[in-house]
């Protein structure tokens, strides 16, 4: 993989929806040239993982030298890196945080694509668990994922019921 000489695209988050911490990082969208480099690197890494038992990757500088560093990573870490590269190659913002990071209600709302008041109502109804940190509600990442998956399952079931009803009523859906 070739290392781009462009400045780092990583910065700490500062938008209103996230509390600034060292645990949360946002990777800004790449320009077209960097996106092409990232896509190329992702394809190479993915290919190495598909067709071999790759345990090492070699970072090459612009002028390859014998003393270039070699890092050894397990395949699971290489898969994560390949996934991050794929997301970066799509030129969309990417947010990375530790799995044990506790989310604010605003962060949960953003991840679920709902309003903050909706999240508060779901907490009050007992459908989304949280704990209090002083006067602030905090939701564990795993709890947000559990809620998201349950919400999607409920939506899928409702859609299936509608499709079944439409079919029973002969509304032309197959």
Same domain, 73 and 43: yes
Report whether pLDDT(13) > 80. Answer: no
Q: How many CA atoms lie within 13 A of 36 on its CB side?
A: 2
**Any idea which residue has 């939701």 for tokens?**
139
136 found inside a domain: yes
Q: With 90 as the cut, is the pLDDT of residue 18 above it? A: no
Q: What is the CATH number of the domain that holds 138?
A: 1.10.1660
Q: Do 84 and 110 belong to one domain?
A: no
Range of the domain at 120: 102-168
Residue 51 lies inside a defined structural domain of this protein: yes
Residue 151 lies in a domain: yes
pLDDT band at 174 (very low <50, low <70, confident <90, very high): low
pTM over 0.75: no
Asked if the structure places residue 68 within a domain, the reply is yes
User: Which residues does residue 10 pair with via DSSP β-bridges, in sequence order?
Assistant: 27
CA 153 to CA 32: how far, in whole Å? 37
Q: In sequence order, which residues have a C-beta less than 8 Å from that of residue 127 and are 6 or more positions away? A: 147
Provide the number of structural domains found in the chain: 2
């Amino acid at each position: 993989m070739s290392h781009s000489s462009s400045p780092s695209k990583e910065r700490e988050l500062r938008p209103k929806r996230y509390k600034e911490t060292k645990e949360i990082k946002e990777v800004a969208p790449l320009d077209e040239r960097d996106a092409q480099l990232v896509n190329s690197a992702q394809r190479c890494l993915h290919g190495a993982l598909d067709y071999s038992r790759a345990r090492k990757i070699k970072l090459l500088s612009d002028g390859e030298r014998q003393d270039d560093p070699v890092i050894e990573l397990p395949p699971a870490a290489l898969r994560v890196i390949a996934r991050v590269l794929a997301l970066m190659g799509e030129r969309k913002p990417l947010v990375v945080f530790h799995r044990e990071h506790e989310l604010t209600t605003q962060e949960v709302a953003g991840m679920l694509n709902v309003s903050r008041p909706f999240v508060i109502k779901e907490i009050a109804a007992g459908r989304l668990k949280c704990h209090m940190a002083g006067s602030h509600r905090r939701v564990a990442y795993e709890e947000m994922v559990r809620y998201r998956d349950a919400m999607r399952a409920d939506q899928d079931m409702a859609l299936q019921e509608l499709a079944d009803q439409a079919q029973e009523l002969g509304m032309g859906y197959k």
